[in-house]
């Protein structure tokens, strides 16, 4: 997870697509960053590929050099019987589609894997990783690959990175695949967006609690990170609501000087209002426990398909 800051506003998000949207809104085209967007025909899924190629691009994006893919619903009202839907009715990509994009990121030479379910199984908003591993184990995937739920520092007194390093030294996998719950900037992306990246992950940094990175540099083997956002900051929700009021025609007579603020300034204002009493408050959908079943089933099935075909 990553906490992105600049001198105008503080934006909590783990999604590279949201960082790109914010940066391009301020700066236009981002040097050193290649963007490709398209829709999957007949599937109602929009794919965004972001390739950070240079150190300057990485600095502007606040992300390591590498590849980032986002799969999200292209039309929230779209209906398709072959799709996995969350309870809000918004599609997630189907198993075959997600598996194909995971394969695209994996090194062609990788045949043995360590699957890591990051997060706290006792907290709904952070349970995506552990629940995915549980479902893979129930399906018999333990016969094909190594899997681990390292827990969190508060439970074990050990960094997840240290636990994983020890396992890698003993089992020598070709590649690590991590699964984690993410933080989003937009509430509309909660439970509806899957991010894939070959840059690894820093658990907890999206909500201001960064731990040691699970990356190729630390692990000495490729690390693929898969995540779905489950939380959004309260300040972002209020900021988006104010922006919506402005868009539907509320003017200065009703909103006063607030109507003159842009989206970033809304977010900065709301963050400052929230900070004294509520601090870094994050919220999750009320039906997230049910949605987690859909999300974890999708990830478990897609990963199982990828691993069994290697």
Gap between the Cα atoms of 127 and 171, Å rounded: 25
The pLDDT of residue 235 is 74
Q: Which residues 6+ apart lie within 8 Å of 262 measured at CB?
A: none
Helix (H, G, I), strand (E, B) or coil at 30: coil
Q: How confident is the model at residue 11 (pLDDT cuts 50, 70, 90)?
A: low
CB of 38 closer than 8 Å to CB of 32: no
Pairing between β-strand 84-85 and β-strand 91-92 as defined by DSSP bridges: antiparallel
Average pLDDT over residues 116-144: 92
**Phi, then psi, of 165 in degrees rounded to 5:** -60, -40
Q: Which residue matches tokens 């940094």?
A: 205
pLDDT in tens, 174-231: 999 999 999 998 888 999 999 999 999 987 555 555 568 899 999 999 999 999 999 9
Domain for residue 22, yes or no? yes
Candidate from 54-63, 214-223, 253-262 with smallest mean pLDDT: 253-262
Residue 266: inside a domain, yes or no? no
| Lookup result for tokens 């950070």 | 52
**Residue 263 covered by a domain:** no
pLDDT of residue 222: 97
| Phi, psi (degrees; rounded to nearest 5) at 246 | -65, -40
- Assign residue 58 the CATH number of its domain: 3.40.50.1450
Q: Where are the beta strands (DSSP E) in the chain?
A: 3-5, 10-12, 33-40, 45-52, 66-73, 84-85, 91-92, 113-117, 146-148, 175-184, 193-197, 223-233, 282-283
pTM above 0.75, yes or no: yes
- Higher-confidence residue: 232 or 256? 232
What is the rounded distance in angstroms from the CA atom of residue 236 to the CA atom of residue 199?
26
Is 211 inside any structural domain? yes
Q: What is the pLDDT of residue 215?
A: 95
Query: Mean pLDDT, the chain, as a whole number?
Result: 83
9: nearest Cα among 283, 275, 278, 266: 266
Angle between helices 234-247 and 263-278 (to 10 degrees): 140
Q: Is residue 275 part of a domain?
A: no
Least confident window among 14-28, 60-74, 171-185: 14-28
Is the pLDDT at 144 greater than 70? The verdict is: yes
Question: Residue 182 CB: number of other CB atoms within 10 A?
Answer: 25
> What is the pLDDT averaged over residues 143-171?
91
pLDDT surpasses 90 at 150: yes
Query: Is residue 253 in some structural domain?
Result: no
For residue 154, is it within any domain?
yes
CA 303, distance to chain mean position in Å, is: 16
Mean pLDDT of 163-170: 95
pLDDT of residue 3: 42
**Total tally of structural domains belonging to the chain:** 1
Q: What per-residue confidence (pLDDT) applies to 88?
A: 45
Residue 75, pLDDT above cutoff 70: no
Residue with the larger pLDDT of the pair 90 and 290: 290
Q: Which domain holds residue 229?
A: 3-235+281-308
268 inside domain: no
């Amino acid at each position: 997870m990553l906490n992105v800051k600049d001198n105008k506003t503080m934006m909590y998000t783990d999604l590279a697509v949201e960082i790109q949207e914010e940066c391009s809104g301020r700066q236009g085209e981002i040097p050193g960053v290649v963007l490709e967007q398209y829709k999957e025909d007949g599937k109602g899924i929009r794919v965004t590929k972001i390739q950070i190629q240079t150190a300057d691009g990485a600095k502007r994006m606040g992300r390591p050099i590498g590849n980032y893919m986002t799969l999200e619903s292209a039309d929230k009202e779209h209906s398709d019987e072959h799709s996995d839907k969350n309870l809000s009715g918004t599609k997630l990509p189907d198993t075959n589609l997600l598996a194909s994009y995971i394969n695209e990121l994996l090194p062609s030479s990788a045949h043995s894997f360590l699957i890591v379910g990051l997060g706290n199984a006792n907290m709904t908003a952070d349970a995506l990783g552990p629940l995915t591993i549980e479902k893979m184990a129930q399906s018999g995937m333990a016969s094909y690959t190594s899997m681990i739920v390292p827990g969190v520092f508060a439970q074990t007194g050990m960094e997840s990175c240290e636990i994983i390093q020890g396992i890698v030294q003993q089992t020598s996998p070709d590649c690590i695949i991590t699964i984690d719950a993410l933080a989003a900037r937009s509430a509309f992306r909660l439970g509806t967006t899957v991010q894939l990246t070959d840059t690894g992950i820093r658990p907890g940094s999206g909500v201001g609690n960064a731990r040691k990175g699970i990356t190729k540099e630390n692990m000495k083997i490729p690390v693929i990170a898969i995540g779905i956002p489950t939380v959004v900051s309260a300040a972002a929700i209020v900021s988006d609501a104010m922006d919506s009021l402005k868009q539907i025609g509320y003017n200065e007579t009703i909103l006063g000087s607030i109507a003159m603020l842009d989206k970033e300034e809304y977010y900065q204002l709301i963050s400052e209002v929230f900070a004294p009493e509520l601090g870094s408050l994050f919220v999750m959908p009320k039906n997230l426990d049910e949605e987690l079943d859909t999300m974890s089933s999708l990830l478990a099935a897609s990963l199982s398909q990828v691993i069994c075909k290697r």
